[in-house]
């Protein structure tokens, strides 16, 4: 039993090296040290959407929450985008303005290449909406509090992808797809940069071809939309909302370290503290 991991919420056991429970998203603990709430029911996914079914969560691996196809994830990304489209467009436009000012254009372009600030803010908003809550301006505080691991994800993953492309091409393509979930993992589960990158790789490799197809489609959409400013302002946030839909389908929305995952469609269960807070606001 040495080296085994266990979920402190539902009691599911996993092989050494796994990080999160495939049932409820809780951070796993070493079996010898865990204080397990035995018999706690695992949350289920009842989405009512064609193509969404629960995966076997007790395989000893970080299983996907739902078996979503590309169309499902694009549809879910559109739902997330529509709910707050003016906020997404506003953030995208605000972040683009410095690039139009000649005096700061070069510095700003280099800065946002190294610092994934616009993407992280948009992803953070989509994560909040996927939790069933309305994104607020103050949510950007979460992004700034995690800026160091977010920057490290961008820099380290870019170096590894570039090295893979320069070496044999295929390793670079593999890593470019495999690290897609790293930013959401930092923002939602508070992971360090390497833990987020490795968790993303382990999860995505289970359905790599599906994610590869999505990764091909989204940049093409963004590239085509560049022809019109309005199109670019909308398509870039939509693409990032679709990344959150991918994250939701594969990992579930945890809502932060120790949070309860969504039901696979971004809805919280009624006993969840996030739902209670939202009801209190009303």
Is 36 within a domain? no
Report how many domains make up the chain: 1
Closest C-alpha among 212, 252, 279, 255 to residue 47? 252
Is 51 within a domain? no
> Residue 46's CB: how many other CB atoms inside 10 A?
12
**Cα distances (Å, whole numbers) of residue 101 to 116, 195, 232, 259:** 20, 37, 19, 42
Among 26-40, 146-160, 165-179, 265-279, where is mean pLDDT lowest? 265-279
**pLDDT per residue as tens digits for the range 75-115:** 999 999 999 999 999 998 888 888 888 888 899 888 988 99
Q: What is the pTM of this model?
A: 0.71
Which pLDDT does position 259 carry in this prediction?
Answer: 37
Give residue 125's domain range.
68-281
Query: Three-state DSSP class for 233?
Result: helix
Is 50 within a domain? no
Is the confidence at residue 267, as pLDDT, over 80? Answer: no
Is 46 within a domain? no
**pLDDT per residue as tens digits for the range 111-159:** 988 999 999 999 999 999 998 889 988 888 889 999 999 999 999 999 9
**pLDDT per residue as tens digits for the range 26-38:** 677 887 776 544 4
């Amino acid at each position: 039993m040495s080296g085994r991991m266990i979920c402190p919420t539902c009691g599911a056991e996993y092989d050494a090296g796994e990080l999160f429970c495939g049932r409820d998203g809780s951070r796993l603990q070493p079996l010898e040290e865990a204080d397990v709430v035995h018999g706690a029911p695992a949350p289920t996914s009842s989405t009512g959407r064609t193509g969404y079914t629960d995966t076997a969560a007790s395989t000893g691996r970080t299983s996907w929450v739902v078996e979503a196809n590309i169309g499902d994830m694009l549809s879910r990304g559109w739902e997330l985008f529509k709910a707050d489209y003016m906020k997404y467009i506003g953030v995208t436009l605000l972040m683009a303005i410095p690039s139009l000012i000649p005096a700061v254009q070069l510095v700003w372009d280099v800065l946002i290449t190294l610092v994934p600030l616009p993407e992280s803010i948009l992803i953070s908003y989509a994560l909040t909406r996927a939790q069933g809550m309305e994104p607020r301006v103050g949510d950007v505080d979460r992004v700034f509090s995690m800026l160091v691991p977010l920057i490290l994800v961008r820099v380290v993953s870019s170096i590894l992808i570039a090295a893979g492309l320069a070496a044999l091409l295929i390793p670079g393509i593999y890593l470019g797809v495999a690290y897609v979930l790293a930013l959401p993992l930092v923002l939602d589960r508070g992971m360090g940069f390497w833990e987020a990158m490795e968790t993303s790789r382990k999860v995505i490799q289970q359905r790599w071809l599906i994610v590869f197809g999505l990764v091909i489609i989204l940049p093409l959409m963004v590239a085509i939309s560049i022809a019109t400013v309005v199109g670019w302002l909308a398509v870039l946030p939509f693409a990032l909302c679709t990344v959150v839909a991918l994250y939701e389908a594969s990992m579930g929305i945890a809502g932060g370290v120790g949070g309860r995952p969504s039901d696979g469609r971004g809805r919280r269960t009624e006993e969840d503290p996030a739902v209670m807070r939202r009801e209190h606001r009303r």
